[in-house]
Amino acid sequence: MLQNPVNHFRGRSEHSLDGKGRLSIPARFRDVLRKQYDGRLMVTPWNKCLRAYPLPQWEKMEMTLLANLREQPDMKKMISYMIGGVAECVLDKQGRILLAPKLREECGIGREVVLSGVMTYFEILDKVAWEVDSKPTPEDFASFEVSLLKSGLL
């Protein structure tokens, strides 16, 4: 028996925030949100980016984090940061979400951004910061290739 296919956030694209801080979500990400979820995103700060999770994925993460807190009490600060900083964003009719100024400021997000799919969530990064911090170097690819070979994927 065939199961419904699982849709994931994949790919990377560049976008511009409008004057009000609204971000147009790419059609392929909107499709995932509408086919598999209800269109609500939970956006939380994470280092130099924002992470956008569909509500069910976010709730799953919250429960896992809280369960792990008992075993790893040193995670309390990080959990408080993530859960305390989260904002619910709902897709409007044009497929946009509003990114609050506080969230953008906290992660150094300017007008030009990169959206990068990471399967169950996607990241929103400042374009310049992404080019400096996240764009892989030839050395990164060499190391990655060794890891893929060791795992039998190449």
Q: How many Å apart are CA 46 and CA 63, to the nearest integer?
A: 18
Domains of the chain with CATH codes: 12-150 (3.40.1550.20)
In the chain, the percentage of residues whose pLDDT exceeds 90 is 60
Whether residue 4 has pLDDT greater than 70: no
Higher pLDDT, 46 or 134: 46
Q: How many Å apart are CA 9 and CA 17, to the nearest integer?
A: 20
Whether residue 1 has pLDDT greater than 60: no
Whether residue 2 has pLDDT greater than 70: no
Over the stretch 46-100, which tens digit does the pLDDT of each residue have?
988 999 999 999 999 999 988 888 888 888 888 888 889 999 999 999 999 999 9
% helix, strand, coil for the chain, step of 5: 45, 25, 30
Q: How many Å apart are CA 137 and CA 46, to the nearest integer?
A: 22
Cα–Cα distances (Å) from 58 to 40, 77, 83, 122, in that order, read 10, 18, 10, 12
> What rounded mean pLDDT belongs to the chain?
90
- Around Cβ 126, how many Cβ atoms within 10 Å? 21
DSSP 25: P
Q: How many Å apart are CA 3 and CA 128, to the nearest integer?
A: 41
